[in-house]
Structure 1
Amino acid sequence: MSKELSITGNDDSLIKFTNMRINAEEDEEFDDSDDDYDDEEEDEYEAPVTLGFVEKPKFEWSLLRHLFPSKAGGTPAWLDPVNLPSGKSSLCDMCGEPLRFLLQAYAPLCDKESTFHRTLYVFMCPSMACLRRDQHEQWKHQPEKGSRSVKVFRGQLPRDNQFYSSEPPKNNGSDKPLGPAAPLCNWCGTWKGDKRCGNCKRACYCSQIHQANHWKSSHKIQCRAIDLTGQASNSGSTNSSDDTPKVASNITWPEYEIINEDEPEFGGEVSDSGAYGKTSLTNNEDEGDVKSWAYFTKRVARAPEQVLRYSRFENSKPLWPMLSGQPSKADIPKCSSCGGNRSFEFQILPQLLYYFDVKNDYNSLDWGTIAVYTCEASCDSTLAYKEEFAWVQHTSQST
């Protein structure tokens, strides 16, 4: 039976995705051979995997930030609602447009106090042209200095903090956060609205691009109708602490709650219809890629609707659609905060595009998998959100 990824009911549930990590050191060493696709050997040595599935939220309040949700689409539920990523961090390095929220995974760690609450956020540019460029940029010797259209941020808080109660939420609609949040962009509802309309002083924006879009769309008329009495000097106002952001645009992807299940041991037959993405391999692909794709589709067929695979063990690794295009250890940059190693934590599958109603054509967004690597120590720093690293693999490396 499915269970929510967000906190539910008691302290035991705070472990979440990582409840298996306590015994991770007792696991056998994993053979990291890229050429070994024997099903029995893979199943014997691979670390346990938790699968994420999407479904529409049952209640309007289910995905509010003080319930620590895991979710896809819509707008992010920021863990630290005040000190958000800003500047170039929020932009696609290719086209300069603000990045769109893809998903977040609530993944607290039990090994230290500062990671009692811990959420990973993934953002990406909706342009396939930018994603193709990103794929080539990630091969640079120092990937953290490359241009990216996919960005990952890690936020974490101790149990006692200024934003939330130290007691688990009741999950009945009565829970409230402890304080206000920073104003969010009125157009996208995603990034901090640190720019304001020069006329009404009320509408907030993350960028001039979104301000211009809102003005052309509707704000030009709305702005003239606003009663400015007592509002013009109120430049420090914040969003309501318990309301979802009011988004004027329709650029966000459909919103879903992410629920999880343990990966089943057995599944269905391998499909050759391209059901696990918008593209499938051609006869021109080499034998290694064909073998890798066959194992990928067979493994995913155990639960075809999965959109996320989570496994934070010492021997965890992504399920790659292709043999080519996989990173080496040297391709994964060190943590920019502490200089320590990053390791695989979860991957996003292309099935998510189906739920986002993304069109099936050459110019629409597509990927084979997006593998997220995070600081092994989940280190602390002066920043509320530390940028982590995502590796993008397409189902055809020729794109």
Structure 2
Amino acid sequence: MESGANGDSIEKLQGLQITPLDDDDEEEREMVAYEYEDDDEDDGEDEEEQKPVTLGFLEKPKNRWSLLRHLFPSKAGGPPAWLDPINLPTGRSCLCDMCGEPLQFVLQVYAPIIEKESTFHRTLFLFMCPSMACLRRDQHEQWKRPPEKASRSVKVFRCQLPRSNPYYSSEPPKCNGTDKPSGPGVSLCNWCGTWKGDKVCSSCRRAHYCQQKHQVTHWRSGHKVECQQLNLSSPSSDSNLADAGTTSVASNSLWPEYEMINEDESEYDTEMSEVNGQTNALVSKTGVDDTMKSLLDSFEGDSDRRSWATFQEHLAKAPEQVLRYCRSAGAKALWPTSSGQLSKADIPKCSYCGGPRCFEFQILPQLLFYFGVSNDVDSLDWATMVVYTCESSCEANVSYKEEFVWVQHSLSSVP
């Protein structure tokens, strides 16, 4: 990504990778409307500074190997494709702080910053508890400030590697199914396929688990029968899976897996692009509009309605977008409502270097459609989730650094 802490340019996400924009495209980059930017905190609200925005769309992967970790994918659902396959988050970091259950993988965004050697590879991973009850409690907890640590049901981790590292070749992948990682990763839980499997089945010694509950669930769901078969099978099959960066996932409770495809929002600025985009749309514009407009009845005051109008204007260009990315200096989130917005003063400092955090991307509620989440009262729901990361993308002695995510709830989901 061609984007530093104070830079004005951004390397756009393109396919599975992020590639830099040409210098002579500077004027064109300023044509993408993003959000109101204050030139002066007191009276700058009338000025709108345009920021380049990259939109993320989901589609089913064309090849089974396209989402493996050594191809550095951006993806949603299924298990994560860990960047550092060895030093995964551990302990309480993996759990919902409300109910204590393991967090479920939501999505990951491959977002390298090419001007720094340490961020040649860089991926952001977002996890959350699928319980709406926990998310409602999270809403109150996220307002807490240091030194009081908030309990969260939504967490985001940043991982970065230099070009020369123990896990991947320094040469670009061929993306033809022949690529292999430089070394195997740690064994993952055979039930969830997400977290480090540091516990093993006492019988076959081949199945790994992140916690005892997943071991018991896997046993009852069929591993009791499979155990004997694993004892008789060749151990080379397990090592081949590890070398390929995959793991056997038994749980069917993970969200459906998609590849994330990225495009500039500017490509959707013309009315013709919008009309053509609806021809083969997976999510109809009418369906999205009906879902979104259901919130409008709960709005009170002009500020909420103005925010909603701006939000809808951007979503109407490409109703299938599930993610909006912009790491340009001064970029802001696109808020559905004015109530529950995060101010600059509310963004906590980086817990590793003490420096400021900046906006990087936000997740839209359309993602719930792709995950097949029902529209019941107690079903998972949000208006937007906004991710802030260390402005300098600092280095630390921990491979996965926890960043900050802010959840703005839809008014209909607030009790």
Does TM, normalized by the shorter one, top 0.5? Answer: yes
Segments of 5+ residues of structure 1 without an aligned counterpart are 8-13
> Is 1:346–2:356 an aligned residue pair?
no
Change (3 A) 1:113 1:273: closer
Q: Specify the alignment match of 1:374 in structure 2.
A: 389
Q: Please give the residue correspondences for 1:50-129 in structure 2 after superposition, counting only pairs within 5 Å.
A: 50-129=54-133
2:38 is matched with: 31
TM-score, structure 2 normalization: 0.84
Q: Identify the residue that residue 352 of structure 2 maps to in structure 1.
A: 337
Partner of 1:324: 339
Q: Is the 8 A contact 1:82 1:181 kept in 2?
A: yes
How far does residue 35 in structure 1 lie from its aligned partner after superposition? 11
Unaligned ranges ≥5, structure 2: 1-11, 276-284
Contact 1:37 1:292 in 2 (8 A): no
Distance 2:83 2:293 in 1: 33
Residue of structure 2 in register with 1:15 after alignment: 19
- Quick check: 1:342–1:374 contact (8 Å CA) kept in 2? yes
In 1, the alpha carbon distance for the partners of 2:88 and 2:288 equals 42
**Shift in Å, 1:272:** 10
Judged with a 3 Å threshold, the aligned counterparts in structure 2 of structure 1 residues 279 and 132 are, in CA distance, closer, same or farther, namely farther
Structure 2 equivalent of residue 162 of structure 1? 166
Q: Is the 8 A contact 1:37 1:295 kept in 2?
A: no
Map 1:265-344 to 2 at 5 A. Answer: 265-266=269-270, 274-275=289-290, 277=292, 279-282=294-297, 285-344=300-359
Question: How far does residue 200 in structure 1 lie from its aligned partner after superposition?
Answer: 2.0
Alpha-carbon shift at residue 166 of structure 1 (Å): 0.5
**Matched residues in 1 for 2:288 and 2:112: separation?**
37
Q: 2:15 aligns with which of 5, 18, 33?
A: 5
Distance in 1 between residues matched to 2:256 and 2:240, nearest whole Å: 25
1:172 is the counterpart of 2:176: yes
| Runs of 4+ that moved beyond 3 A | 2-5, 26-30, 32-38, 228-231, 236-239, 266-279
CA apart distance, 1:198: 2.1
Match of 1:255 in 2: 257
Secondary structure in 1 aligned to 2:414? coil
1:282-309, Cα deviation, whole Å (9 max, x unpaired): 2552221122112111111011110000
In structure 1, how many angstroms separate the alpha carbons of the residues matched to 2:42 and 2:67? Answer: 39
Which one of the candidate residues 235, 242, 245 is aligned to 2:244? 242
Question: Alignment partner for residue 211 of structure 2, among 207, 210, 218?
Answer: 207
Alpha-carbon distance between aligned partners in 2 of 1:119 and 1:243, rounded to the nearest angstrom? 16
Taking only aligned residues, the RMSD between alpha carbons, in angstroms, comes to: 3.2
Matched residue type, 1:398 = V
Q: Deviations over 1:337-376 (max 9, x none)?
A: 1111111000000001111111011111111000000000
Q: Deviations over 1:118-145 (max 9, x none)?
A: 0000001111111111111101123981
**How far apart are residue 189 of structure 1 and its match?**
0.3
Which residue pairs with 1:133 in the alignment?
137
- 1:10 alignment partner in structure 2: none
The two structures have a TM-score, normalised by structure 1, of 0.87
CA distance in 2, matches of 1:355, 1:230: 38
Instruction: Work out the percentage of aligned pairs sharing the same amino acid.
Output: 61
Alpha-carbon distance, 1:281 to partner: 2.5
2:15 aligned partner, one-letter code: L
8 Å CA contact 2:14–2:263 kept in 1: the answer is no
Report if aligned partners of 1:183, 1:237 keep a CA contact under 8 Å in 2. Answer: no
Question: Could you list the per-position Cα deviations for residues 242-268 of structure 1 after superposition, in whole angstroms to 9, with x for gaps in the alignment?
Answer: 152210110111111101111033456
> How many residues of Structure 1 are paired with residues of Structure 2 in the alignment?
382
Contact 2:203 2:227 survives alignment (8 Å): yes
Residue 403 of structure 2: SS of its match in structure 1? Answer: strand
Counterparts of 1:212 and 1:4 in 2: how far apart (Å)? 42
Deviation for aligned residue 1:227: 2.4
Alpha-carbon distance change, 148 to 372 in structure 1, aligned in 2, over 3 angstroms: same
**Does residue 1:398 correspond to 2:398, yes or no?**
no
Q: 1:223 deviation in Å?
A: 2.3
Q: State the 1:275 CA deviation.
A: 4.0
